[in-house]
Structure 1
Amino acid sequence: MPETQSVYSSDLAGVVVGETAISDVQGEAGVLSYRDIDINDLVDVPFLHVAWLVLFGEWPTESEKRALKSFICQHAALTDNEKLLLGQVNRELHPMLMLQGLVPLLEMPTEDTLGRGVDAEQGLFIAAKISSLIAGHHRLGQNKSILDPIPGKLRHENFLTMFHGRAPTREQVRMLDAAQILQMEHSFNAGTFAGRVCASTLAPIQSSISASIGTLFGKLHGGADQAALEMAIAIGSPEKADEYVRNSLANKVKIMGMGHREYRAVDPRAKILKPMAVELCRDDESKNLLATLVAVEEACQREFGAKGKEIWANVEFYKGAVFHSLGIPTHYFTAMFAQARVYGYIAHFLEFRPQNKLIRPRALYTGTPPEAGKTAA
């Protein structure tokens, strides 16, 4: 039987590799929706309600809201064994490597208390633990004790309290809710696709999520948020942005956080995050960093515009300024991304597993045969 003609794309650009009803990225129009609801209509909805929508394709009932809030708070508290495990991790280890390593070591629940299946139960269990692992790793790195979540508190109110050791303001919680909703899900991004590949082997959900977290760590993916703000810190002031951009382009150095693989218009998430950053960045240091980022974006637009091209900042570009204003160190930015995107990873696992098929692409072999007649000595 003759082989069918294969489509070759080294980066899978333009290649359709599956179906999803979870989110829709309309790159040309600059539109993002979760379950057919525009992201602009979701940023003021309670975070866990959006998570439920992303996971199950419907809004939670009143009883489901209560059950989910109770479940997340209950399992967010690290057990003595989990604290001991976290305590063995090198304090200097990047939080993303910590998460990638510890997620598969968590002892998964085996009962279905939420009525959505064991996979969903285990996925939400991991989501609950991730926030406490991040906060605990930060606390241990400061030679401080790990704090437990406070029953009845909102998801991100608890996280910021566990992370900093003090209660956040209502405005800070609202901003973090919105920022995390914006990065909860984004179709077949690299991290999500890596998780689907892992899931296709019938590996358990913790392996799939760990694979996604490892992929998210890269600077060309989730790590761009850390890189973008560190770039602004290195530039120092908005007056130096023009020179930095010109030198970077002349030397073919990628300007982190500028442009997006999918969007040919403004990233809809950046549209929301930029004014949030302006609202939150009030102290002199934060204002200077934000002004530097704005100057870099404007310089990029001038340089690309002179060549007849357009470019805009993506979600990672201004997200770092928001996190910085919340007192999150730069090397924790991508872990904050994982804390939100894990709900998308779970949703894709749940969507993919019932119709599971091993993902196994072909490779174009480019090896060179040995010279004719040459034999080993």
Structure 2
Amino acid sequence: MTDNENLESFDLAGVIVGETAISDVDGAAGRLSYRGVDIVDLAERPFAEVVWLVLFGETPDAARQAQLNRFLCQHARLTLEERQVLKLLPQHLHPMLMLQGMVPLIELPEAETLGVGLDAEHGLVIAAKISALIAAWYRREQGLSPLGGGPDDNFHQHFLTLLHGQVPDADAVRILDATQILQMEHSFNAGTFAGRVCASTLAPIQSVISASIGTLYGRLHGGADQAALEMAQSIGAPEKAAAYVAQCLAEKTKIMGMGHREYRTVDPRAKLLKPMAMNLCNDPDSRRLLDTLIAVEQACQQEFATRGKEIWANVEFYKGAVFHNLGLPTHFFTAMFAMARVYGYIAHYLEFSRESRLIRPRARYVPAREPAMA
């Protein structure tokens, strides 16, 4: 590398830093697959089936899916010690900071029961506990007592019961399954790569997941879902979207949730999620927010078309409307992302650990310039 090369070359964009068999992001074609299966197909499958496929590379039978659902539901309960630690945290703490701090403190079993290896089982226990932590933190914010359990045959039905204290309808469970499948895995995204760097030091899986969650919190990564819906709330109505977009472009302000670093065409996850959100969001408030988001996307596309360019909403853009309809405040959206992406983190930990090697890049030293003489 020569001294006059632009520093932008250090952002690692497009640089191959490893291999994976877990997922493939084809940005040019707008395709995403897990273990060779297209996301269009996977979004319609049972959640437990896709979890097993992502982690272990095989399609489980119905008995294995039922076993995994029971395992996740049974571990989606906080111990007395975990509840006591949770009570000591500041109540205003963002859910993502709560998760990042609590994950390394989770008590993990010493013996396995699923027959998938202790590392994998520890990861699945953490995944289950994340759902319990989110539900407990939400109920604490709402001034409600934590709940101890729910149905054991469907993980997301169990979670929504822990969250709101009543068994949800089938449509809510179905769209939550699909939404979480769509954001479960995405190759070497920032959070996953941070986890692989952590794993390369031979850190335990709870440290790896905590590092990944901390990275996911950023507004330029997982935090875009919260920012996108809060943008729609601040705009207020669909008819105000065009003026908002024009002002953002004039002031060179980033419109959260529009465009994606990898996809040069429509994000395949957003393509699937948008019609789901349109079918789900029927109450006046959710519909107004969704219509505002749709108007923002249309205004962006019109503005970019005048410049001879195309732009599309990514998955973060529309999933906020889904989570809002499910009764979650905006500051919990990224925690819901973590609750799904954790399975990708586990899969990468297992894959990388088979041939672990310390990730230690080099930096080019550039001495600081001396201050100019007065």
User: TM-score, normalization: structure 1?
Assistant: 0.94
- What is the CA–CA distance in structure 1 between the aligned matches of 2:290 and 2:202, rounded to whole Å? 45
Cross-structure match for 1:220:
220
Cross-structure match for 1:147:
147
Shift of 1:209: 0.2
- What is the CA–CA distance in structure 2 between the aligned matches of 1:274 and 1:73, rounded to whole Å? 29
Q: In structure 1, what residue type is equivalent to 2:156? A: H
Cross-structure match for 1:74:
74
Decide whether the 8 Å contact of 2:150 with 2:159 is kept in 1: no
SS at match of 1:18: coil
Distance change (3 Å), C-alpha of 1:369 and 1:284: closer
Question: 1:150-198 CA distances to partner (integer Å, 9 max, x unpaired)?
Answer: 2423111111111111221100000100000000000000000000000
Shift of 1:334: 0.3
Q: In structure 2, what residue type is equivalent to 1:120? A: A
Q: In structure 1, what residue type is equivalent to 2:31? A: V
Shift of 1:149: 2.2
- What is the CA–CA distance in structure 1 between the aligned matches of 2:180 and 2:173, rounded to whole Å? 10
- What is the CA–CA distance in structure 2 between the aligned matches of 1:106 and 1:76, rounded to whole Å? 12
- What is the CA–CA distance in structure 2 between the aligned matches of 1:133 and 1:248, rounded to whole Å? 37
Shift of 1:117: 1.3
Question: 1:71-112 CA distances to partner (integer Å, 9 max, x unpaired)?
Answer: 212211111111111121222111000000000011122212
Matched, 1:205 2:242: no
Q: In structure 2, what residue type is equivalent to 1:234? A: S
Cross-structure match for 1:118:
118
Cross-structure match for 1:275:
275
Q: Percent identity between the aligned chains?
A: 66
Cross-structure match for 1:291:
291
Q: In structure 1, what residue type is equivalent to 2:204? A: P
Distance change (3 Å), C-alpha of 1:63 and 1:283: closer
- After superposition, where does 1:51-90 map in structure 2 within 5 Å? 51-90=51-90
Shift of 1:137: 0.5
- What is the CA–CA distance in structure 2 between the aligned matches of 1:10 and 1:161, rounded to whole Å? 46
Cross-structure match for 2:358:
358
- After superposition, where does 1:222-237 map in structure 2 within 5 Å? 222-237=222-237
Cross-structure match for 2:240:
240
Cross-structure match for 1:264:
264
SS at match of 1:307: coil
Q: In structure 1, what residue type is equivalent to 2:79? A: T
Cross-structure match for 1:157:
157
Shift of 1:62: 4.1
Shift of 1:116: 1.5
Q: In structure 2, what residue type is equivalent to 1:164? A: H
Shift of 1:66: 3.3
Matched, 1:48 2:48: yes
Shift of 1:369: 6.9
Decide whether the 8 Å contact of 2:74 with 2:152 is kept in 1: no
SS at match of 2:33: strand
Decide whether the 8 Å contact of 1:184 with 1:343 is kept in 2: yes
Which shifted more, 78-87 or 264-273?
78-87
- What is the CA–CA distance in structure 2 between the aligned matches of 1:332 and 1:368, rounded to whole Å? 42
Matched, 1:249 2:253: no
Shift of 1:46: 1.1
Question: 1:110-137 CA distances to partner (integer Å, 9 max, x unpaired)?
Answer: 2122111111011001001000000000
Question: 1:14-33 CA distances to partner (integer Å, 9 max, x unpaired)?
Answer: 10000000000000000000
Decide whether the 8 Å contact of 2:70 with 2:153 is kept in 1: no
Q: In structure 1, what residue type is equivalent to 2:81? A: N
Cross-structure match for 1:187:
187
SS at match of 1:10: helix
- Point out where structure 2 has 5 or more consecutive residues left out of the alignment: 1-6
Cross-structure match for 1:4:
none
- Point out where structure 1 has 5 or more consecutive residues left out of the alignment: 1-6, 372-377
Distance change (3 Å), C-alpha of 1:62 and 1:138: same
Q: In structure 2, what residue type is equivalent to 1:308? A: G
- What is the CA–CA distance in structure 2 between the aligned matches of 1:21 and 1:256, rounded to whole Å? 30
Decide whether the 8 Å contact of 2:97 with 2:214 is kept in 1: yes
Decide whether the 8 Å contact of 1:9 with 1:15 is kept in 2: no
- What is the CA–CA distance in structure 1 between the aligned matches of 2:368 and 2:281, rounded to whole Å? 57
- What is the CA–CA distance in structure 1 between the aligned matches of 2:150 and 2:160, rounded to whole Å? 11
Cross-structure match for 1:3:
none
Matched, 1:21 2:12: no
Q: In structure 2, what residue type is equivalent to 1:250? A: A
Question: 1:44-68 CA distances to partner (integer Å, 9 max, x unpaired)?
Answer: 2111110010000001234432332
- What is the CA–CA distance in structure 2 between the aligned matches of 1:34 and 1:83, rounded to whole Å? 35
SS at match of 1:226: helix
Distance change (3 Å), C-alpha of 1:313 and 1:8: closer
- What is the CA–CA distance in structure 2 between the aligned matches of 1:61 and 1:312, rounded to whole Å? 37
- What is the CA–CA distance in structure 2 between the aligned matches of 1:11 and 1:299, rounded to whole Å? 30
Shift of 1:43: 1.1
- What is the CA–CA distance in structure 1 between the aligned matches of 2:93 and 2:329, rounded to whole Å? 14
Decide whether the 8 Å contact of 2:151 with 2:157 is kept in 1: no
Q: In structure 1, what residue type is equivalent to 2:93? A: L
Which shifted more, 283-292 or 129-138?
283-292
Shift of 1:265: 0.7
